[in-house]
Amino acid sequence: MKKKVLKGKAFKRAIETKDAARINGDIPLIVDSTELSTPEMAEKLLRRNNSNRPVNWNKVEQYRKVMEEGKWKLHAQGIILDDKGNLLTGQKRLWAIIYSGEGQYMRISRGSPPDTATLIDRGTAQTSRDLAHRVTERKHSPTEGSIARGVLALKGEIKPSVDEIAECMVDHSNILEQAMKQTRGTRKTKSILMILAAICFLSNGDNAKGLFGIVSGLAEKLDQELFPIEAIKCWNRGAAFTLVMEKAMMICERETHTTTITIE
C-alpha cells in the first residue's frame, strides 16, 4: 500500500512544529496544550460527547469534591478530542468542573483519530493503596485500607473517596505499620478491624503497643456489647457503621485508663 506524504502547508507545519516524523502522512497531527477549562467550556465540549461510555457519576462526585477543596492538580492526563472535535475521553473531569463551578487547568489533546477511542482509558484504576504508596513509598495492605475506612467513619466520612482513604493511610502511616506488625497472625475479623481503627483514631498516629497486645480481647468486648447484632453486618453500612465504630472507640477509651498509649 502506497504511503501518504505531506505536502504544501501540512508539510510546512510539520517542519515548523518540530513534528518532522509526520512528513510520513500516515501519522496523525495531534496537538496538546494546557488550557483553563471553565464550566462553560466543559459544557461546550460535552455537547460533542457522542460515543463515550456511560458516565461514572460516583467518580464525577469524587472529582468534584477534590476540585471544590482546591486539591486538583494539573497533570498529563486530561481531555482528548478527535480530529473533528468530538470528545474521546475526559467526560468525568468535565462534568466535575460543571458541578463544582470551578475552572481547572487541563491538558487538552486535539487530533486523535476517532478509531483510537477503543484503546483509550483501558488501564486499571489506581486504588487508595496505590495512591498512598506514592507518598509513603511503602506497600500498604488491604487491611490498612479497611482500618482507614473505620477511622474516617469516626470523622464523619460515611462514604469516603479513594483519595480520602489514601490520605488517611498517609496520615496514619506509622501507626498502621505498627498495627500490622503487632497483630501479625491475628485473624482480621470486622470486630478486630473496628478496634484497630479506633486505636488509630485515638492515638493520633502514635504507637499503641499496649492496646495492640489486647486487641482480640477488646474485639470480644465489642461483640458482646453488640449482641445479637454482628459487626460484619454493620461494616461499611452508613450510620450503623458509624455507631458501631463509636462503640469500639468507647471500649478503647475505657481501656486507656489502665493501658497508656505511648509515643515510641
The β-bridge partners of 33 are 108
How much is the pLDDT for 25? Answer: 55
How much is the pLDDT for 207? Answer: 47
Report yes or no on 146 lying in a domain.
Answer: yes
CA distance 44 to 118: 23
How much is the pLDDT for 96? Answer: 97
Question: Residue 191 in contact with residue 222, Cβ under 8 Å?
Answer: yes
How much is the pLDDT for 120? Answer: 77
Give the residue numbers spanning the domain of 133: 128-255
How much is the pLDDT for 261? Answer: 47
- Would you tell me how many other CB atoms lie within 10 Å of the CB of residue 32? 13
144 with 202, same domain: the answer is yes
Report yes or no on 264 lying in a domain.
Answer: no
- Would you tell me how many other CB atoms lie within 10 Å of the CB of residue 184? 7
52 with 144, same domain: the answer is no
3-state secondary structure of 114: helix
Looking at the structure of the chain, the number of domains it has is 2
Q: What is the pLDDT along the chain (264 residues), one digit of tens a residue?
A: 455 555 666 656 655 555 555 445 567 888 899 999 999 999 999 999 877 778 889 899 999 999 999 999 999 989 999 989 999 999 999 999 999 999 999 999 999 998 887 777 766 678 899 989 989 989 999 999 999 999 999 999 989 989 899 999 999 999 999 999 999 999 999 999 999 999 999 885 454 667 888 999 999 999 999 999 999 999 999 999 999 999 999 999 988 766 544 434
Tell me which of 81, 98, 119 is where a domain ends.
Answer: 119
